[in-house]
Chains A and B, each alone.
Chain A
């Protein structure tokens, strides 16, 4: 008796849910899964700005929800499932480690659209999107190579994934171009967001003589460590981190997700959404270069801005040959430009970098 009641009510509930879906709810619901807190001042902060821009642009037609501090891995599946069950039409999962969970959950909810940032696995209802951060890294590398006096540049890596390795290579190539003696010291933090660990890593690099610290982690802790050291140059990562300008932060890479988020949400509303792979850079405006502060000499600033313009109009590609891999084998011939496939899966250092990529 009890069981039948239960089954009956379950059937009714299912029917109601199905009915609600068939009617089409009035608002388009967009979910965001964030890896850090929205107040991290970096990566997640910018994604959240994109979310707010969607709300502002589309007003009452849209409702957004987000969950912050979601651990990469199985826990994220729970969060995505909950969002899908709560009626989200479109879900942005904004960290590399959500790749497999996104694919798994997308299979279970074929009517929900998913967008995974920085990954490479797609499905009929899963798009991927990323920004060509390496274009910004090239400009950082140029400034860093010019600014360093000790010729030691510290680099705080998060995880050894293609996106991060691409950034290291791009920065190194352009630092070496203007300063052949430059040396990169790389510390892997194995976290996207852990202020204490990031601060420690920055301090260690500074103690080892680095007077420029680049970071590929999300918090502003390395900026604070550099500020305390006094004579160390840093760059804002993912967000402007302008509170540390004009020094130590002399420039930054800013991710601007707002136009993309608005366009994709509109596509869901119009029914024109399709699974795509978007990879935009400085040209389309997905990657911004934060104001280069006066701590940078005027001529260096000019060169950096010229490079930015050349990258934006497509006349210069940061990975242009001749380039060799770390082991000395040829990668790109003179004038040859790296193809997107190689870049997307980049798992090697270019010649001149020391150390090994953790496997």
Chain B
């Protein structure tokens, strides 16, 4: 065992990158659930975003355009979910699961011509001299733009939900859609927009995997990240900063366990491999001991005549 081979600075820098796909998807889902909709299709929207972003980035040579396409692809798929659940009043759980299956299949089909292709690389933001500062430089100032966008997104979602009128309306719709409707708010329209926001975020999260983290396209490459994002929202009690904490914790322990394995630590590998899941759940469960409950109308179907 030789722990000195683990470089904590690189570890922290790596965990931020590893956590970003989960963070983006979970933040989007948080907004959706705060609006009272349970969309289990995160995995499907992520994988579709992964291939849309990848394909467009390869075709145009611009990773940024790729990310925009990924957001559009995710939002478009989520629109299908909105159509099913908000207009046709279908069951949200079943529709969400169907969305995941559909997304996995559609992405495999779209991606057939892109196996083994190398995408254009997104350059890290150049912070000039800031990058050269010891310790904080590599940790804070050595990343790609999307990672910073993820952090900004969390802050923006938090501020919007807490301080703005838009956030208040969204929460009202999520807590009690009948009351919100009685006040004259367009419940279906607001929820549809929230669902599309969630889809766009999930799509970008998927593209982060295919364009930056791996970077290549292979079928099913999101490998369950969407489900982790979903669970994270619940364990984080629908609070944006806790989503950030959970995502970093999960990403961090995933990276740490690989590092420990490489360093030959004498903990059985099975325990190391399960540790990210267990520790993230335990920490967030302890945090959620306060009385923050789920949005009141979460998962319930709304129709004005009911």
Point out residues on A near B: beta carbons under 8 Å: 37, 39-41, 69, 154, 160, 185-188, 190, 193-197, 199-201, 203-205, 207-209, 219-221, 224, 228, 243, 354-356, 358-359
Contacts and interface: CB of A to CB of B under 8 A. Distances in A.
In the A-B complex, the 6 residue pairs with the smallest Cβ-Cβ separation, listed nearest first, are A39-B115, A358-B269, A204-B258, A355-B264, A37-B219, A185-B262
A154 B18 contact: no
Nearest to A190: B273
Given A39-B115, A186-B261, A224 B269 contact: no
B18 A40 contact: no
Interface residues of B, number: 38
A195 B216 contact: yes
Nearest to B2: A354
Interface of B: 5-7, 10-11, 14, 18, 108, 112, 115-116, 118, 121, 209, 213-216, 218-223, 225, 254-255, 258-259, 261-264, 266, 268-270, 273
5 contacts: A160-B269, A196-B222, A197-B223, A207-B7, A219-B216
Contacts of B261: 186-188
A224 B116 contact: no
B14 A204 contact: yes
Contacts of A160: 269
B49 to A, nearest CB: 14
B213 A199 contact: yes
A209 B209 contact: no
B264 A208 contact: no
Contact of B218 (A39, A200, A356): A39
A194 B216 CA distance: 12
A154 B266 contact: no
Contacts of B213: 196, 199-200
A203 B14 contact: yes
Given A204-B259, A207-B10, A358-B269, A221 B219 contact: no
A50 B18 CA distance: 36
Interface centre among B10, B116, B268, B270 (most CB of A within 10 A): B116
Contacts of B216: 195, 219-221, 224
A69 B220 contact: yes
A205 B222 CA distance: 22
Contacts of B221: 194-196
Contact of B14 (A194, A207, A228): A207
A180 B255 CA distance: 30
A208 B18 contact: no
Nearest to B263: A208
Contact of A41 (B115, B214, B225, B262): B115
A204 B214 contact: no
A327 B258 CA distance: 25
B157 to A, nearest CB: 25
Contacts of B264: 185, 354-355
